Amino acid sequence: MGEIMPDTQLASAHADEPRATGLRAGDTQVLRLRQEHPVNRDRQDIPCLDMFSVIVQLRDFARHELWCGGRLVFAGGHARMALSVTHLGEGWACRHLSSFDNVRVQIPRASLDALSEELERPAVSGFARAQGTVDPVAYGLVSALLPALDMPDRGNRLFVDQVTLALTIHVAQTYGGMAPLAPPGGRRTGGLSQWQEARAKEFLTANLGGDVAIAEVAAECGLSRSHFIKAFRETTGQTPYRWLLDHRVARARELLRGPQPIADIALACGFADQSHLTRVFAAATGMLPAAWRRRQG
């Protein structure tokens, strides 16, 4: 989960060919695909796979055509924030006729079935009302993944896993008919027990860089991924990733009181490098690490 694939030219070294960056969250693949000047006007077949493709437009997509089973089913454009869901096993083909920039989340049917079982809901058989629908929630979630897609050294496995799971649940509930779980009588489900909270924080602290999947942390507490995230947030007021990020900044503040070089502190606190620490530290405290250190002296 969270494996980053480098920015690559998909077809050739030509500057006008589409570019893709991607990462994986378990069996789910997330791709950012963009092209400024489409030069290949031929229809392109999409690999036939038993998975669902969720596409969210990052900007207006003026013109493209879609075929399903050899029949033209769409010709036109999609607005920024528009979402579409298709099952890739139905024999799709496309032709891009204008520039585009979108994020594609490809979810195998087996992964969606496993999520349904985890949430104790009936399996999702398909998606309705999800062709070109403007969806600000999905747009916000995929936008949160852009730094991980565009800056591989900033990718955080815990964060990618958390956001991808949230997107999958949102799409399944909004367009796939998966009803949200509600506790009996509308009661809150409760947070983590004392031992679960201690174990979760201990496990996260031992993996400061965030190179751990939500499923791993949840397993330490004997919970499913979705139930763990909900219980953790109810107990701490934060998602696991947000709690870990704050813990890393707090640890950096402690180390900045000593003489250790800032570059070494960054690595000790799970940041990719000094610039990564500086950006996160400044956002959290309003000060650069060097300035904060001087103030403590």
pLDDT by residue (tens digit) across 235-273? 999 999 999 999 999 999 999 999 999 999 999 998 888
Query: In percent, how much of the chain has pLDDT > 70?
Result: 89
pLDDT at 38: 75
CATH number of 184-237: 1.10.10
Kindly tell me if the per-residue pLDDT of 149 is higher than 80.
yes
Residues 6+ apart with CB under 8 A from 264: none
97-104 average pLDDT score:
94
Q: Measured between alpha carbons, how far is 116 from 52 in angstroms, rounded to an integer?
A: 14
Q: Measured between alpha carbons, how far is 26 from 107 in angstroms, rounded to an integer?
A: 10
Per CATH, 184-237 and 243-296 having the same topology is answered yes
Kindly tell me if the per-residue pLDDT of 122 is higher than 50.
yes
pLDDT at 15: 53
CATH topology of domain 243-296: Arc Repressor Mutant, subunit A (1.10.10)
pLDDT at 293: 92
203-229 average pLDDT score:
92
Domain extents for the chain? 3-175, 184-237, 243-296
Kindly tell me if the per-residue pLDDT of 54 is higher than 60.
yes
Instruction: Return the sign of the alpha-carbon dihedral for residues 107, 108, 109, 112.
Output: negative
Q: Measured between alpha carbons, how far is 4 from 101 in angstroms, rounded to an integer?
A: 19
Q: CB of 119 within 8 A of CB of 89?
A: no
pLDDT at 8: 41
Kindly tell me if the per-residue pLDDT of 1 is higher than 60.
no
Q: Measured between alpha carbons, how far is 283 from 272 in angstroms, rounded to an integer?
A: 16
Average pLDDT, the chain: 87
CATH topology of domain 3-175: Jelly Rolls (2.60.120)
